Amino acid sequence: MKVRADLHNHSCLSPCGDLSMSPRFLAETARSRGIEMIALSDHNSARNLPAMKEVCAGLNLALIYGIEVTSLEEAHILCLFETLDEAMDMGKLIYLNLPDIKNDPKRFDQVWVDADENIDGNVGKWLGSGVNLSLDSLFIEVKQRNGLFIPAHIDRAMMSIPSQLGFLPPMDYDALESTRLPVPASAGPLPEGVPLIQNSDAHYPQNIAQRSTVYEMEAPGFQGLKTALKNRAIYP
Amino acid sequence: MTIKDLETKLGFTCLQCEYEEGAIEGAYTSDLLSDVMANAPSNSVLITIQAHKNTVAVSTLADVKVILLCNKRIPEDDMLEAGRKEGVAIFQTEKNQFEASCLIGSILNEK
């Protein structure tokens, strides 16, 4: 079956995410705009995933548990997991490896909420920092938790592996995300056989579902996604 | 050195000029924003090629007053808007970071 998925989204937890982007608002809006499978991928934190799980269960919206990690090199990587436990465990590791820079809540909201949009807490460290884990270390940690490792927005002139390193080092990427297809030359030569995907990277309501990718899967879910990426079962 | 000296004495182009004029006490040259956060002195000019709004966010947290974009890097529109909102001045030069650092170093302690 065809499944339309958007695997890169931010909620009110991300410092740059709008406060209106509760998991409920994000999930309901994405569903209404035709998204059938979604990943919530806040910067360096998994704290809104429990609420997202509860909301998606009631909406017939398949959920992938994600974190957009900023590596030591300051490249953004989408780390996607099958279970909430794996994602939360990754979140704990990331938080331990975030520099001890206190967030100023007057400047950046970093709130996690329940399924009914009540604020449960505020993350203390600033989530916009690079984490003390290199790309190689990050890859190992993601794979130890059976996750998918997908460099984010490789066509962007900032916070992408090509912008930070000047090239894409040979690694076993599960996919590469680009905001534009075909990928512009600025990303450099692309490794052969790695699927290219598009996602919204939504930080604000108007960007929800602005980009997505249609995959061929037996059923919407993490295993379906993993197989579709491996087989490059992606509709153009 | 004052912020305006970047324009009047060194000839750098002002791209975001809604700032409070004042003395600059230090300078820092780096492109890794985590490094800037940890090490940039307060009340300083940041010499960088990171021409995006995250640089402004980090500048406000690290008390950097001016961002100098080298290699004639063009800022994204939302960077200038962020700079305007936060009162962080943004300048541009065609010089590279080494050349720009040397020039700033030569006038940093001038009154």
pTM of the full structure: 0.90
| pLDDT per residue rounded down to tens, chain A (236 residues) | 999 999 999 999 999 888 899 999 999 999 999 999 999 999 999 999 999 999 999 998 999 999 999 999 999 999 999 999 999 999 999 999 999 989 988 888 899 999 999 999 999 999 999 999 999 999 999 999 999 999 999 999 899 999 998 899 999 999 999 999 999 998 999 999 999 999 999 999 999 999 999 999 999 999 999 999 999 999 98
From chain B, the residues in CB contact with A74 under 8 A are 32-34
Q: What are phi and psi of B5, to 5 degrees?
A: -60, -25
Say yes or no for a CB contact (<8 Å) between B50 and A158.
Answer: yes
Strands of the B26-29 sheet, one edge to the other? B13-16, B89-92, B64-69, B44-48, B26-29
Say yes or no for a CB contact (<8 Å) between B57 and A128.
Answer: yes
Maximum Cα interatomic distance, chain B, rounded to a whole number of Å: 33
ipTM above 0.95, yes or no: no
Query: If you count them, how many residues does chain B have?
Result: 111
Select the residue of A108, A129, A158 nearest B52 (Cβ to Cβ).
A158
Select the residue of B37, B51, B60 nearest A101 (Cβ to Cβ).
B37
From chain A, the residues in CB contact with B51 under 8 A are 157-158
Q: CA-based angle B54:A10:A130, to the nearest 5?
A: 40
**Partner residues linked to A41 by β-bridges:** A66
Residue in B64, B73, B90, B88 with CA at minimum distance from that of residue B6: B90
Say yes or no for a CB contact (<8 Å) between A130 and B33.
Answer: yes
Say yes or no for a CB contact (<8 Å) between B32 and A128.
Answer: no
Put simply, the chain B residues between 52 and 71 with a CB less than 8 A from any chain A CB are: 52, 54, 57-58, 60-61
CB-based contact B96:B71 (threshold 8 Å)? yes
Residue A227: in which H helix or E strand, if any? helix A222-230
CB-based contact A13:A123 (threshold 8 Å)? yes
A91: Cβ contacts below 8 Å, ≥ 6 apart: A45, A46, A47, A49, A67
Residue in A132, A59, A137 with CA at minimum distance from that of residue A97: A132
